Amino acid sequence: MSEAVSIPEAAALLLEQKRILILTHERPDGDAIGSSFGMREFLRQCCGCEAEVVLPAPPPERYQELIGEYKTTLTPEEVAQYDLILLLDCANCERIACGPAVDPVSLPELSRPPMLNVDHHKGNNVNARWNVVMPQIAAASQLAAEIAMAMKRPLPERAATFWLLGIVTDTGAFRFSNTLSNTLRVTADLLDCGANLECVVNAAYYSKPLNQQKFEAELLETQEKLAFDGRYIYAYIPDELFAKYDFDMRDGEGVIDLLREVAGTKIAALYYRKGDCFKVSLRSKDQRYPVGPLARGLGGGGHDMAAGITLRGMDQKQVEALLLEKVAAVLGEREED
């Protein structure tokens, strides 16, 4: 059974639990980190809960200091000890960062704690026991903060700082069109609770390692391409470039923004090889040309203005050609009206 619940209902549900396991999506970004570690902090400090976050792969280096300790794995028996799994910012089961041992989907149903799915992705298809899925909300961290505020207890500064991190990063520091008046109201409430903006901004925007800056300079110099009168901008990251600068996309949350800052561009794409697949990131900066439907059409997902796809069974040239074709359709179709 799967049901949609409101924010106050989710708050009431969390208050009934003693042990909560928090999971988020693979390659966690600022919102994944912010929503989950903010909730861990809040549940521990304000609800007397035993709350843990499991991250099987290390999070981006820039958030390491803010996060502190976290679990990297649990056995299925340990997972079964939890009363509830709280899944944050994750649109589908395949993207849950849990590692095989913790995988709540493959665990036998009887030993699987029920799941509360809190997310803001259109097309979320997790179908947990309880679901708070609100695509109009800018960040999962905003939803987490609203759930906590519904419990009517003071928010710890650390939790407020984590949720501010998620809101700031998922709105591109309030530059993206997902920034609404309710986003700013929750942000104001978090600042009133002592959220540390300096700490958030320094971690998210002013902590780039030198090797990353040099990696980005060479990427733009050698790989950046424009098409369709400069309305589409894209780059492929060759394996050799990652190796040359010892750079990993785990820390690459902001790389695609370098492409879309170019004047006149509407859609940006960045793609690279990952094992036997290609990982594609897509961004739009014009609501007339959303990239979410394009991504979903190719088996990916995300938001209208920020989406991603994992493509299998293709080589680099085929990926480039496929994206050119699909982006042309998005730009062209809308051009005629």
* Interface ranges with ligand 5GP (CB under 6 A): 29, 91-92, 121, 281, 300-303, 306-310
**Neighbouring residues of 325: CB distance < 8 A, sequence distance ≥ 6:** none
Q: Smallest gap, in angstroms, from Cβ of residue 78 to ligand 5GP?
A: 27
- Segment near Mn ion (CB under 5 A); pick from 88-96, 124-132, 205-213, 308-316: 88-96
Distance, in Å, from the CA atom of 266 to the CA atom of 114, rounded to the nearest integer, reads: 42
Nearer to ligand 5GP, 79 or 267 (CB): 267
303 binds, among Mn ion, ligand 5GP, none (CB under 5 to 8 A by kind): ligand 5GP
Binding residues for Mn ion restricted to 5-34, rule: CB under 5 A: 31
Nearer to ligand 5GP, 74 or 323 (CB): 323
| Beta strand extents in the chain (DSSP E only) | 3-4, 19-23, 50-53, 84-88, 115-119, 130-133, 225-227, 232-237, 267-274, 277-284, 301-302, 306-312
Structure token digits, residue 192: 């009133």
Q: Smallest gap, in angstroms, from Cβ of residue 255 to ligand 5GP?
A: 10
Does 89 sit near Mn ion (CB under 5 A)? yes
CA distances from 335 to 94, 244, 305 (A): 35, 41, 18
Q: Which helix (H) or strand (E) holds 56?
A: none
170 binds, among ligand 5GP, Mn ion, none (CB under 5 to 8 A by kind): Mn ion
- Segment near Mn ion (CB under 5 A); pick from 137-145, 182-190, 205-213, 229-237: 137-145
Nearer to ligand 5GP, 32 or 43 (CB): 32
**Neighbouring residues of 259: CB distance < 8 A, sequence distance ≥ 6:** 224, 233, 234, 235, 265, 268, 269, 270, 283
Site string for Mn ion, 156-195 (x = CB under 5 A): --------------x-------------------------
Binding residues for Mn ion restricted to 206-245, rule: CB under 5 A: none
Nearer to ligand 5GP, 92 or 202 (CB): 92
CA distances from 132 to 11, 26, 128 (A): 11, 20, 10
Structure token digits, residue 276: 């036997």
Distance, in Å, from the CA atom of 214 to the CA atom of 295, rounded to the nearest integer, reads: 30
Distance, in Å, from the CA atom of 332 to the CA atom of 336, rounded to the nearest integer, reads: 7
Does 253 sit near Mn ion (CB under 5 A)? no
**Which single residue brings its beta carbon nearest to ligand 5GP?**
308
Does 140 sit near Mn ion (CB under 5 A)? yes
Nearer to ligand 5GP, 121 or 158 (CB): 121
Q: Smallest gap, in angstroms, from Cβ of residue 91 to Mn ion?
A: 9
330: phi then psi, degrees, rounded to nearest 5: -65, -45
Q: Smallest gap, in angstroms, from Cβ of residue 256 to Mn ion?
A: 15
CA distances from 311 to 88, 130, 154, 186, 262 (A): 24, 31, 45, 37, 26
310 binds, among Mn ion, ligand 5GP, none (CB under 5 to 8 A by kind): ligand 5GP
Q: Which residues bind Mn ion (CB under 5 A)?
A: 31, 89, 140, 170
